[in-house]
Chains A and B, each alone.
Chain A
Amino acid sequence: DAGVIQSPRHEVTEMGQEVTLRCKPISGHDYLFWYRQTMMRGLELLIYFNNNVPIDDSGMPEDRFSAKMPNASFSTLKIQPSEPRDSAVYFCASSWTDQETQYFGPGTRLLVL
Protein backbone atom coordinates (compact mmCIF):
# COMPACT_ATOMS: atom_id res chain seq x y z
CA ASP A 1 0.00 0.00 0.00
CA ALA A 2 1.26 3.49 -0.79
CA GLY A 3 0.28 4.79 2.60
CA VAL A 4 -1.86 7.84 3.25
CA ILE A 5 -1.74 10.17 0.27
CA GLN A 6 -2.26 13.90 0.54
CA SER A 7 -2.44 16.58 -2.11
CA PRO A 8 -1.25 19.12 -2.77
CA ARG A 9 2.00 18.91 -0.82
CA HIS A 10 2.37 22.68 -0.87
CA GLU A 11 -0.21 25.39 -1.35
CA VAL A 12 0.31 29.13 -1.48
CA THR A 13 -2.78 31.28 -1.76
CA GLU A 14 -4.00 34.76 -1.05
CA MET A 15 -6.23 35.72 1.81
CA GLY A 16 -9.89 35.26 0.97
CA GLN A 17 -9.36 32.44 -1.48
CA GLU A 18 -10.85 29.00 -1.08
CA VAL A 19 -8.44 26.20 -0.28
CA THR A 20 -9.18 22.48 -0.66
CA LEU A 21 -6.90 19.84 0.79
CA ARG A 22 -7.28 16.23 -0.23
CA CYS A 23 -6.58 12.91 1.43
CA LYS A 24 -6.68 9.27 0.39
CA PRO A 25 -6.50 6.96 3.40
CA ILE A 26 -4.97 3.52 3.48
CA SER A 27 -7.34 1.02 1.93
CA GLY A 28 -9.38 -0.81 4.54
CA HIS A 29 -8.95 1.79 7.25
CA ASP A 30 -12.27 2.80 8.81
CA TYR A 31 -11.03 5.92 10.60
CA LEU A 32 -9.72 9.12 9.06
CA PHE A 33 -8.34 12.11 10.93
CA TRP A 34 -7.42 15.67 9.98
CA TYR A 35 -4.74 17.46 12.05
CA ARG A 36 -3.15 20.87 11.92
CA GLN A 37 0.40 21.60 13.08
CA THR A 38 1.81 25.03 13.86
CA MET A 39 4.79 26.21 15.83
CA MET A 40 2.58 28.04 18.30
CA ARG A 41 -0.06 25.39 18.96
CA GLY A 42 1.69 22.16 18.04
CA LEU A 43 -0.37 19.32 16.60
CA GLU A 44 -4.16 19.61 16.95
CA LEU A 45 -6.94 17.23 15.95
CA LEU A 46 -9.48 19.04 13.79
CA ILE A 47 -12.02 16.35 12.91
CA TYR A 48 -12.28 12.60 12.49
CA PHE A 49 -14.50 10.24 10.53
CA ASN A 50 -15.60 6.66 11.12
CA ASN A 51 -16.90 4.80 8.08
CA ASN A 52 -17.20 8.11 6.21
CA VAL A 53 -19.32 9.71 8.95
CA PRO A 54 -17.97 12.72 10.87
CA ILE A 55 -17.79 11.74 14.51
CA ASP A 56 -16.24 14.72 16.24
CA ASP A 57 -15.56 18.11 14.69
CA SER A 58 -15.03 19.97 17.93
CA GLY A 59 -11.48 20.77 16.90
CA MET A 60 -12.51 22.65 13.78
CA PRO A 61 -11.51 26.22 14.55
CA GLU A 62 -14.25 28.12 12.74
CA ASP A 63 -17.14 27.82 10.34
CA ARG A 64 -14.70 28.68 7.59
CA PHE A 65 -13.43 25.12 7.92
CA SER A 66 -15.39 22.17 6.58
CA ALA A 67 -14.53 18.55 5.93
CA LYS A 68 -16.22 15.84 3.91
CA MET A 69 -15.69 12.17 3.24
CA PRO A 70 -17.89 11.19 0.28
CA ASN A 71 -16.51 7.65 0.18
CA ALA A 72 -14.08 5.36 1.98
CA SER A 73 -11.14 6.36 -0.18
CA PHE A 74 -11.35 10.14 -0.25
CA SER A 75 -11.70 13.09 2.08
CA THR A 76 -11.40 16.85 1.72
CA LEU A 77 -10.72 19.68 4.12
CA LYS A 78 -11.88 23.04 2.82
CA ILE A 79 -11.13 26.52 4.10
CA GLN A 80 -13.31 29.31 2.75
CA PRO A 81 -12.33 32.07 2.98
CA SER A 82 -8.73 31.49 3.95
CA GLU A 83 -6.84 33.79 6.30
CA PRO A 84 -3.11 34.20 7.02
CA ARG A 85 -3.54 32.57 10.45
CA ASP A 86 -4.61 29.38 8.70
CA SER A 87 -1.04 28.93 7.52
CA ALA A 88 0.12 25.58 8.89
CA VAL A 89 0.89 22.03 7.94
CA TYR A 90 -2.27 19.95 7.63
CA PHE A 91 -1.96 16.22 8.16
CA CYS A 92 -4.35 13.44 7.32
CA ALA A 93 -4.10 10.11 9.15
CA SER A 94 -6.01 6.84 9.06
CA SER A 95 -6.35 3.70 11.16
CA TRP A 96 -8.20 0.39 11.14
CA THR A 97 -9.97 0.91 14.43
CA ASP A 98 -10.00 3.49 17.16
CA GLN A 99 -7.69 1.28 19.20
CA GLU A 100 -5.00 0.95 16.60
CA THR A 101 -2.13 3.19 15.68
CA GLN A 102 -2.68 5.99 13.19
CA TYR A 103 -0.74 6.27 9.96
CA PHE A 104 0.03 9.79 8.87
CA GLY A 105 0.31 11.25 5.41
CA PRO A 106 3.19 13.56 4.45
CA GLY A 107 1.11 16.67 5.08
CA THR A 108 0.10 19.74 3.09
CA ARG A 109 2.07 22.88 3.83
CA LEU A 110 -0.34 25.81 3.46
CA LEU A 111 0.72 29.42 3.28
CA VAL A 112 -1.94 32.10 3.12
CA LEU A 113 -0.59 35.49 2.15
Chain B
Amino acid sequence: KQEVTQIPAALSVPEGENLVLNCSFTDSAIYNLQWFRQDPGKGLTSLLLIQSSQREQTSGRLNASLDKSSGRSTLYIAASQPGDSATYLCAARGGVTSYDKVIFGPGTSLSVIP
Protein backbone atom coordinates (compact mmCIF):
# COMPACT_ATOMS: atom_id res chain seq x y z
CA LYS B 1 0.00 0.00 0.00
CA GLN B 2 1.38 3.37 -1.05
CA GLU B 3 2.24 5.74 1.76
CA VAL B 4 3.36 9.31 1.24
CA THR B 5 5.18 11.29 3.88
CA GLN B 6 6.48 14.83 3.94
CA ILE B 7 9.30 16.24 6.01
CA PRO B 8 9.38 18.62 7.72
CA ALA B 9 5.80 19.09 8.88
CA ALA B 10 6.46 22.80 9.34
CA LEU B 11 9.21 25.14 8.24
CA SER B 12 9.93 28.76 8.98
CA VAL B 13 12.56 30.65 6.98
CA PRO B 14 13.59 34.28 6.53
CA GLU B 15 12.68 35.99 3.29
CA GLY B 16 15.17 35.45 0.48
CA GLU B 17 16.33 32.05 1.61
CA ASN B 18 16.36 29.06 -0.71
CA LEU B 19 14.57 26.03 0.68
CA VAL B 20 13.77 22.40 -0.04
CA LEU B 21 10.64 20.48 0.82
CA ASN B 22 10.77 16.71 0.85
CA CYS B 23 8.26 14.08 -0.18
CA SER B 24 8.77 10.34 0.21
CA PHE B 25 6.68 7.49 -1.14
CA THR B 26 6.94 3.79 -0.37
CA ASP B 27 5.90 2.30 -3.73
CA SER B 28 8.19 3.37 -6.57
CA ALA B 29 5.67 2.24 -9.21
CA ILE B 30 4.11 5.64 -9.60
CA TYR B 31 2.57 7.17 -12.70
CA ASN B 32 3.26 10.73 -11.74
CA LEU B 33 3.87 12.96 -8.78
CA GLN B 34 2.31 16.35 -8.26
CA TRP B 35 3.04 19.25 -5.95
CA PHE B 36 0.23 21.46 -4.72
CA ARG B 37 -0.04 24.60 -2.68
CA GLN B 38 -2.90 25.20 -0.26
CA ASP B 39 -3.58 28.56 1.32
CA PRO B 40 -5.55 28.68 4.58
CA GLY B 41 -9.23 28.08 3.97
CA LYS B 42 -8.69 27.64 0.26
CA GLY B 43 -8.52 24.85 -2.24
CA LEU B 44 -5.40 23.37 -3.76
CA THR B 45 -3.42 24.98 -6.55
CA SER B 46 -1.31 22.74 -8.73
CA LEU B 47 2.33 23.83 -8.91
CA LEU B 48 4.20 21.16 -10.81
CA LEU B 49 3.43 17.72 -12.19
CA ILE B 50 6.23 15.26 -12.93
CA GLN B 51 5.50 12.22 -15.06
CA SER B 52 7.26 8.99 -14.11
CA SER B 53 9.53 9.28 -17.14
CA GLN B 54 10.73 12.72 -16.11
CA ARG B 55 13.37 13.71 -13.58
CA GLU B 56 12.34 17.28 -12.89
CA GLN B 57 10.03 20.14 -13.75
CA THR B 58 10.58 23.86 -13.36
CA SER B 59 8.23 26.79 -13.11
CA GLY B 60 9.64 30.17 -12.21
CA ARG B 61 11.30 29.96 -8.81
CA LEU B 62 10.08 26.41 -8.30
CA ASN B 63 11.87 23.23 -9.25
CA ALA B 64 10.59 19.76 -8.50
CA SER B 65 12.66 16.62 -8.88
CA LEU B 66 11.67 13.00 -8.90
CA ASP B 67 13.78 9.96 -8.04
CA LYS B 68 11.59 6.89 -8.29
CA SER B 69 14.31 4.45 -7.30
CA SER B 70 14.75 6.11 -3.94
CA GLY B 71 11.07 6.98 -3.56
CA ARG B 72 11.69 10.66 -3.20
CA SER B 73 10.67 13.98 -4.64
CA THR B 74 11.85 17.42 -3.65
CA LEU B 75 10.39 20.85 -4.21
CA TYR B 76 13.01 23.58 -4.35
CA ILE B 77 11.91 27.16 -3.84
CA ALA B 78 14.45 29.81 -4.71
CA ALA B 79 14.59 33.24 -3.13
CA SER B 80 11.57 32.66 -0.92
CA GLN B 81 9.01 35.43 -0.44
CA PRO B 82 6.34 36.03 2.23
CA GLY B 83 3.75 35.24 -0.43
CA ASP B 84 5.12 31.70 -0.58
CA SER B 85 3.73 31.05 2.90
CA ALA B 86 1.25 28.19 2.57
CA THR B 87 0.96 24.45 3.01
CA TYR B 88 2.63 22.39 0.30
CA LEU B 89 1.33 18.93 -0.47
CA CYS B 90 2.71 16.25 -2.74
CA ALA B 91 0.52 13.57 -4.30
CA ALA B 92 1.73 10.31 -5.79
CA ARG B 93 -0.39 8.61 -8.38
CA GLY B 94 0.16 4.93 -8.93
CA GLY B 95 -1.04 2.69 -11.72
CA VAL B 96 -1.91 3.78 -15.22
CA THR B 97 -5.65 4.17 -15.50
CA SER B 98 -7.03 4.18 -11.98
CA TYR B 99 -7.17 7.28 -9.86
CA ASP B 100 -7.90 5.29 -6.74
CA LYS B 101 -4.18 5.23 -6.07
CA VAL B 102 -3.73 8.99 -5.79
CA ILE B 103 -2.25 9.35 -2.33
CA PHE B 104 -1.59 12.73 -0.79
CA GLY B 105 1.07 13.50 1.75
CA PRO B 106 0.15 15.34 4.98
CA GLY B 107 1.78 18.55 3.78
CA THR B 108 4.53 20.91 4.91
CA SER B 109 3.43 24.22 6.38
CA LEU B 110 5.80 26.93 5.21
CA SER B 111 6.16 30.35 6.77
CA VAL B 112 8.42 32.91 5.11
CA ILE B 113 9.26 35.69 7.53
CA PRO B 114 9.73 39.20 6.08
Contacts and interface: CB of A to CB of B under 8 A. Distances in A.
A91 B99 contact: no
A41 B100 CA distance: 16
A56 B99 contact: yes
Nearest to A58: B100
Given A104-B44, A104-B45, A98 B104 contact: no
B106 A105 contact: no
Interface string A72-113: 000000000000000000010100001111111111010000
B34 interface: yes
Contacts of B44: 43, 91, 93, 104
Contacts of B89: 43
Nearest to B36: A104
B46 A105 contact: no
B104 to A, nearest CB: 4
Contacts of A93: 43-44
Given A45-B100, A48-B99, A107 B46 contact: no
B46 A101 contact: yes
A102 B41 CA distance: 18
A91 B106 contact: no
Interface of A: 4, 33, 42-45, 48, 55-56, 58-59, 91, 93, 98-107, 109
